[in-house]
Chains A and B, each alone.
Chain A
Amino acid sequence: MYRACGSFSETYSDDMALMRTRWQWLALAILMVGLVCYPLVASSGWIRFATITGITIISVLGLQILVGLTGQVSVGQSAFMGIGAYFGAIAAMKFHMPFPLPILVGATGAAIVGVLFGLPAARIKGFYLALTTLAAQFVFQFTIVRLPDSWFGGSAGISVAPPVIFGVQINSTVGFYYLTLPFTVLAVFAALFIMRSRVGRALISVRDNDLAAEVTGINVIYYKVAAFGLASFFAGLAGGLLAYENKLAHFEQFTLFESIWYLGMLIVGGMGSILGAVLGAVSLRFVQEILALVSPRMAELLPGARYDIAFPMINVVLGVLIIVFLIYQPRGLAHLYRRGERYARVWPFPY
């Protein structure tokens, strides 16, 4: 944290404040107003992009808590999103719960399943643990289709009716944007507060050295498993929102590739910072959107003229980005931002 000259704290609560200057409050207010006004200026394609990005941010925040804060790599985040989506869809369609409830049901259900798959964390760590999340991904994909159709809709998935809030049915691109926005903002602040709380500090200490954490009196196993629960809760929240947005909960929306992309967003954004999760999700979703727009043109240039190269192009570019960031900027965009911030603070002096 680089602070402007003359900005110093007089009390402890000042010292811990998230917003310490009037300019920061102003910047926050401008950002919020900008987010609220965004649909007035953007085309409907870009509004939908913003909605999907907001949902992605929620999921990547969860992954940040698990991977960035606790140091447990997971390649199953989209499976937990899928569980959230299915549970939410069932709560909405079979039990006819009013709007915010299905999403909470989905998130809680995903958290419970996440804790179940996180239990091996009590015995193993490192990439052995990553493999259990990979198993979770495949178990999800293979099981959900084969369970009786009356449970999870089989290969057709479950279609979700548009949500009704205070008697108003939300069924437009703009409507879904405003539906997602509060959840995304809440998730960002929730993640920020989790990170700055006792829980967050415990998770970070587990990541840095679990033996030392244990000696300091932190229940390592509890926090390792709890991190899975938290990450899956965020994932379930995102999955529930995605089910509403797509009007469908379907297992093909939640593939291994999605999971790897989320991990890529974390690497590109920066491990261990909330800003990193947001930056990574926004920038990689933006790259994906651009590629989806550009690749039909590129397909014409390639021999054989295949028109379905958007998905593999996204994979190639994201894979290259993951490797490049791991090699050249392992602390991600968040670190670049902090460096830029520091440079701007002391400009025109070098330090």
Chain B
Amino acid sequence: MLWETLLRVLVSGIANGAIYASVAVGFSIIYRSGKVFNIAQGEMLMLATFMAMTFFGMGMNHWVALALTATAMGLLGLGVERFVLRPLVGQSEMALFMATLGLLLVLNGLGVIMFGTEPRLFPDVLGTERWLVGTVSIKQSAVLGTALVAGSVAGLAWFFRSTRTGLFMTAVAESHQIARSLGVNVQRSIGLSWAIAGVVATISAAAFMSGRSVSPEIASIAFVALPVVLLSGLESIGGVMLGGIIVGVGQSMAAAWLDPYTEGGASLLFPFALMMLILLFRPQGLFGWKRVERI
């Protein structure tokens, strides 16, 4: 009985953790290559989801629709760099953060205006089968989605560690000034990171929304992904997978064992309590660069 509960908690925790990781990786890509903390990452996920649904609604093949969405989201990322961030080059990190808060308002409002607030069903793109492991049933879409996210996170980690472009982008995160004087195109690096984040948002939409009913409120997933990215460290790309699993499993444990006593509050509060603890005791996270400003 305990083992069955534990297995169920693990399965749902890892699947949820992968969602958080897929959003968190968007945070760390953008932070790692431009020192911009994009609080509007959840809104990008929401836009990608609804854009894909619009394309599905036109009767397109699922994969064509997803490819189109990825292109559009990439262009959106480039547009954000061009019209919001480029004019703010050289401003403080806080000004950039507040600009992404403005972006959050804009994208959220646009999403609600264009797609309405009523929940809609996202089509099954990753299959509907369920597998039984012991007594616990596992959805095929969750397994495929988790694998897809794990694959893309691994690919991105490799890209940032081992390719020339990825290393250039890492250099930009270290210091705009020095990167530029060494001949790195800072603007292109930031633009590219935003485009990648847009594509990643499409991947996470495809991986996790299939078969669910979605409304613009799914954007708030990003706030639960905040502790994930803080836990793994803002600059670490591979680490978000581990961070996501820790947060996801912790949350489903809280849901399984604490929620009955707290009216469902424990699982909602867990990520934020964890976030406060991380910020207090290890702000650079598990794998981040130790650069947090102290007084």
The finding on whether chains A and B are genuine partners in a shared complex, rather than unrelated, reads yes
Contact (Cβ within 8 A) A128 B106: no
Q: Is B84 in contact with chain A by the CB < 8 A criterion?
A: yes
**In the bound complex, what is the Cα–Cα distance between A125 and B113 (angstroms)?**
36
Chain A 298-350 residues near chain B, CB threshold 8 A: 302, 304, 306, 308-309, 311-323, 326-327, 330
Instruction: Choose from A75, A224, A264, A312 the contact partner of B113 (Cβ within 8 Å).
Output: A312
Chain B 60-105 residues near chain A, CB threshold 8 A: 84, 87-88, 91, 93-95, 97-99, 101-105
Contact (Cβ within 8 A) B97 A323: no
Chain A, interface size category, equals: 35 or more
Q: When A135-B275, A312-B109 are in contact, do A126 and B293 touch as well, CB less than 8 Å? A: yes
Q: Is A237 in contact with chain B by the CB < 8 A criterion?
A: no
Chain A 106-144 residues near chain B, CB threshold 8 A: 120, 122-132, 134-135, 138-139, 142-143
**In the bound complex, what is the Cα–Cα distance between A314 and B110 (angstroms)?**
10
Chain B 234-257 residues near chain A, CB threshold 8 A: none
Q: Is A73 in contact with chain B by the CB < 8 A criterion?
A: yes
Contact (Cβ within 8 A) A142 B113: no
Contact (Cβ within 8 A) B295 A122: yes
Contact (Cβ within 8 A) B113 A313: yes
Q: Is A220 in contact with chain B by the CB < 8 A criterion?
A: yes
List the A residue with the shortest CB-CB distance to B40. A319
Q: Is B287 in contact with chain A by the CB < 8 A criterion?
A: no
List the B residue with the shortest CB-CB distance to A257. B105
Contact (Cβ within 8 A) A323 B263: no
Instruction: Choose from B101, B112, B273 the contact partner of A75 (Cβ within 8 Å).
Output: B101
Which A residues are CB-close (under 8 A) to B110? 312, 316
Which B residues are CB-close (under 8 A) to A326? 88, 91, 95, 98-99, 102
Chain B 188-245 residues near chain A, CB threshold 8 A: 223, 226, 230
Task: Mark the stretch among B2-10, B148-156, B172-180, B276-284 that contacts chain A.
Answer: B276-284
B243 to chain A, nearest CB (A): 15
Q: When A134-B223, A138-B223, A330-B95 are in contact, do A124 and B292 touch as well, CB less than 8 Å? A: yes
List the B residue with the shortest CB-CB distance to A144. B265
B205 to chain A, nearest CB (A): 20
Which A residues are CB-close (under 8 A) to B111? 312
List the A residue with the shortest CB-CB distance to B101. A260
B225 to chain A, nearest CB (A): 12
Contact (Cβ within 8 A) B292 A323: no
List the B residue with the shortest CB-CB distance to A322. B102
Contact (Cβ within 8 A) B262 A127: no
Contact (Cβ within 8 A) A319 B295: no
**In the bound complex, what is the Cα–Cα distance between A214 and B109 (angstroms)?**
43
Instruction: Choose from A124, A319, A322, A323 the contact partner of B294 (Cβ within 8 Å).
Output: A124
Q: Is B165 in contact with chain A by the CB < 8 A criterion?
A: no
Contact (Cβ within 8 A) B101 A322: yes
Contact (Cβ within 8 A) B269 A142: yes
A332 to chain B, nearest CB (A): 12
B31 to chain A, nearest CB (A): 10
Q: When A135-B272, A308-B117, A322-B99 are in contact, do A264 and B94 touch as well, CB less than 8 Å? A: no
Instruction: Choose from B94, B230, B263 the contact partner of A73 (Cβ within 8 Å).
Output: B94
Contact (Cβ within 8 A) A73 B88: no
Which B residues are CB-close (under 8 A) to A314? 109
B38 to chain A, nearest CB (A): 11
**In the bound complex, what is the Cα–Cα distance between A302 and B292 (angstroms)?**
47
5 further A-B pairs in the complex, CB-CB below 8 A; given A71-B94, A73-B94:
A132-B276, A143-B269, A260-B101, A319-B106, A326-B102
**A residues with CB within 8 A of B:** 71, 73, 75, 120, 122-132, 134-135, 138-139, 142-143, 145-146, 210, 214, 220-221, 224, 257, 260, 263-264, 267, 302, 304, 306, 308-309, 311-323, 326-327, 330
Q: Could you list 6 examples of A-B contacts with CB < 8 Å?
A: A124-B283, A143-B265, A146-B263, A316-B109, A319-B104, A323-B102
